[in-house]
Structure 1
Amino acid sequence: MSTMPIPLLIAAVSHGLCAAAFLAFTALLLAGRRVRETQRAMLAGCAATGMWAGAVALRGWQPWGLDMAQVAFALEVARSAAWLVFLALLLAPAGLPVKRLLGGIAALATLQLAMGDVTMNLWAPTPANQPVLAAIVVRLLLSVLGILLVEQLYRGTPPRERWGIKFACLGLGTLFVYDFYLFSDAMLFRRVQPDIWAARGIVDALCVPLLAITAARNPGWKLGLALSRKMMMRSAALVGCALYLLAMAAGGWYLRSVGGAWGPVMQLACLVGAALLLVGVLFSGTARARVRVFISKHFYQARFDYRDEWRRFTQALSEGGPVPGERAIQAIAALAESPAGALWIARDSGVCEPAARWNMPPQHGTESVDGDFCRLLRARQWVAEAGRPLPGTSRMPAWLHEIPQLWLVVPLLLHGRLFGFVALARPRTAVALNWEVYDLLRLAGSQAASCLAHGELAERLADARQFESFNRMSTFVVHDVKNLLSQHSLLLSNAERHKHNPAFQEDMLATLAHSVQKMSGLLQRLVRSDMGHGGETATVLPLAGVVRAAVQAYATAQPHPVVEAADEALCALADGQRLERVLAHLLQNAVEATPPQGSIRVALRRQGDAALIELRDTGMGMSEAFMRDRLFRPFETTKPVGMGIGVYESREYVRELGGRLEVDSCPGAGTTFRLILPLHRATGDVAVAA
């Protein structure tokens, strides 16, 4: 014991602790009632690790004449292989090809045995030779494989079930990461560092409590794994890059060692060229497409991850960027690895016309919706392939064959009719077409047709709203003209009796002047609206002046309105002409509903923080049902020549000003309208809320 080197003694103690921890944990697992297949693999890993650590601890002795260094090396190979098999069995429910993975693990373990132990001359001052370097590379590959399997296990487990395996992933990840650190350092310095190697036992022993927690939380090791294709793609890319970098480093080292004076130059040129080649491959769409096809073909039963594909497809259709037609082409083309495409949409003329393109030259060919080809696409949802005969007598149109690299024609069906079709170019890599691809393309075509139809309907709705706005403006103009015509009719009817009355003549001239002013304002508003300018200008205006102007326009009416009270201090932020028009609508209705011997009274006063304009008449009144169901509905009227929009327009504009329009009425007892407007006061040139 006294002749044992100090580093070897430290390594013996460290690995002795590891052996005690793992063997004790193995005994606890064996004490369980039932041992499942996954638990057997875990038992094998724990037992192999414990025996390996014990053999390393006894490396300074030769009990029973055994070479403990060789025994420790064989047990280390068994330890690494057992943990990799344990991880592979955990990943089996996720669809991982366990047989191929086990074959790869066995091949690496056999290769490691053939390469020999890299720690035989641990304290030898001579640098490692080429076979030892190759043995280090094999151990690095085993460590990288273990790290990838741990990462797949954690990411593939649903978040709600990670509670049961996170400590096992942490423990096994620590085990493989430390091995990676140990042997990457050995590869860099061409020898295994004794201190790092000696601490390996304690580091592995620290993993035992983590494995014990997981075994207690999840004794059955039942995991709802879902192996992600995206993560499988990334893992494959990571493994490929790691192998490439190792090969690149080995090639550079070889050139440096045999190249003499040219060795350093050749090494640097080789490293830069290889790095450029790797970057070019990573940026190649063809290379990525081939990797995706290879993984889907060899690692999964179903070719597509439908949840992920549908999420990506829906996101591509809904996100901003290119025109909707181009987004639809890109979304469908991505399902078949196609780099280009064009879209045709069936128009009202009964012809499918080019609507969009992506990475394709402009297309000019058209096809009748009633033709044989379109009927085939509609009736059988047929995905036509270039060079493949179509059923029956149907043929692909000749102009479609003129499209460069034409591959597939995917129909876009909506509610049983052909909305259009998409022509796709040949993919970057060979893609085998089967029922799964055809079904996915049909379904994607229907979804794309729905989104494109929604976009076209939105455009048509926008056009219809513009026409509706124009028609609504025309209706209001006609209504204003009708009110002015009614005033002039009353004026003419009274002129026969009062044309020699100077007072009447003065009122008549004032009414005509007011009508001309209103007509001029209406014409200016229409011109400004047509030129794209705002038709209304809100200003702080005295309400008393607006009320008097509106009442003055009906001075010749019978009965004529009378202003009872008008508070001169009340102001509101509004367009004067439109507010006057609102009062004119209400006054016109009051004049028409009130007999000549009746009365119409208008009052303006303050009500709290608002201005109240009250119009009371003694006319025929309205029923409660009429006020509730018909009064404020547009185009509802009881007049023979009415438009039915006066009260509706009045209420809407009062609401725009932040006020409200109230009405009280009773059949035979008259009607009272109340306009309640928010008050404003003028401070300099700025309108301030009261």
Structure 2
Amino acid sequence: MYIGLLSYSLAAIFFLVLLGVLLTDRRQDKPSRKYLLLATSISILWAGMAAFQSGKIELLFIYQTLEVLRNLFWQQFLLLVLGRSICAEDQSPIIYRAKILLYIISALMVVLIIDRHLLQFIPVLAHYIDPLLVGYLVQAVAVLVLLEQMLRNTRKDMVWAVKFFCLGLGGIYAYDFYLYSEAMLFQHVDNMLWQSRGLINALMVPVIGVAISRHPEWSSGIFLSRRVVFHTTTLLGGGIYLLVIGFGGYYVRNFGGGWGVIAQTLFMFGAIIILALILFSETLRAKLRVLINKHFFHYKYDYRDEWLRFIYVLSSFDETIPLPTRSIQAIAQIIESPGGMLWMKRDNNIYLPVARWHMAAVYDSENADTDFIKFMEEHDWVINLDEFEWNPGVYRSRGFFSLPDWLRSMQNAWLVMPLILQDKMLGFVVLTHAKNRRHNFNWEDTDLLKIACRQAASYLAQHEAAQALSEVRRFDDFNRLSTYMVHDLKNMIAQLSLIVSNAAKHKNNPLFVDDVVSTVENSVTKMNRLLSNLKDDVRGSEDKEDIDICCLIRREVDNRKRAGNTPNIELICVDEKIISTANHDRLASVISHIIQNAQDATPVSGNITIKLHKHINHAIIEIEDTGCGMDESFISTRLFRPFETTKGKSGMGIGVFEAREFLQRLGGDIEVESEMGKGTLFRLHLPLSRVK
């Protein structure tokens, strides 16, 4: 009797808590919620009466009537939900007839409960079978069938919300089906099964509550605390563990012979130590939290809105905001980060910063073979710098031990996210701290950021492929232009050859002399035009030699001065004897072009300073001017691309592109620092010669 009292009392308390949560919501005008409230209320009365009438035959009819009503209201709730899920006119009569049939069955059962003497009119039926048991069994089967139909007809995007409801209510009525099937077989209800029924209901109510919290039409504004669920789950798991260990200890003691007591003591002590280790394991606790948050609580994002906003920012066309910058903005807005920086992989297997948004500039690079890059590429891991500081074990267990120097020196850096495309890391994004989200960053943020970064990677890859294709097409145009130029040169050569062949015969003829002057003048005009189009695209032979860099620069400076170009140029050779191996004409052309660019950008009153020095195994040539400067967007997106220029039609935009290509083939590179209105610094890196 006491077991039944405790069992059904717990069920009543759990249903009462569920009702309290439902009543906190003001949206009680929906029919489905009304039936849900009625079914929950009747379940409270039924469980309470079951606990109160334990052993009291005189109250049995009230308990039985409440059970019929409990079953009826759950059936009506399920029929209402099922009808709204199907939304088909040809199914409406079937649902209506099902409602009427279930009402009739319930009414007949109530009549039999009130007046059992009606069975005397059917003595054979009363002798072999109890009609009430049949009724309860039919009601349980009806609920199970309706649950199956509801799950089958629920939209795929809502299955996650109703599956726990089907599990919870289905568990209650599956037990009822077993209880009454066994009762019909043995002609009486098993007392232990009946007493355990209340505990089964109590265990299933939280599962129903999870489903109600997920469904938009059933849920209320109050949810169980994640911490409460976590600790409850931990205690429940610990209790089940200890229960199993208790049975194991009993088995060891009874079958251990003379060592039974000792074996039981060692077994129990070891089991408790293992339980303590599990409970204090941060890794297991973290995994349990993620499991609970993923499967028992609302997602904190409206994924449809987040994705639409992300795609809108990423795909919008704005000439003032290039795609790399928009990619940073689209990713950052997800977690309300105020700024970020995008790094992309280049042909020389180095990651470079290509765009930034509300973040200080960084002049550095990261090799693709570092542990930092390999860790993100192999694990597709969002690095949380805060987590790396207070819980480095998470990263060290995966072989990642230290951050790059440039990342440690960045102020307010928070997250580093890889841009993965086809299992290769196209680049990565660094985001700054979001004050409102800093202490609320969890698995859901990580999952969403990973998907967003993959989508951004596909956009960026497509963007770079389109740019590469555009460059190829423009090179085709350039080659076509070269063909036209060769044709013009052939015509000029033919004209000049004709003059040479006729000079000996007509050199004293004034008309011939006038014609020669006119032809030469026309040829000079054409050649000047061709040279203007080529824009000093001098290409010498690729034969390499050891070059004294200081002498080469001094010669080019003198040539620029003799040409009358202004402003003033100052040369400082910190190290006089610096030797590098390169093609003399090509290197001279590169240096001359950079100096000319500096002169073109600098007013007459400005200054150009050229400084040469050694750094480890490289010669460093710094060409700094006080000219108009360039903005960061132009430097990062256009300066090193062919056919991009700030000189309008007077330049073809090949010089700086060719300069970097030439230096990189030598094993060097070129860096640019500039500020609008203050000037520009070109830093050329040349590998030193290996000759002694």
Please report the TM-score for the alignment, with normalisation by the length of structure 2: 0.33
- Structure with bigger helix share is 2
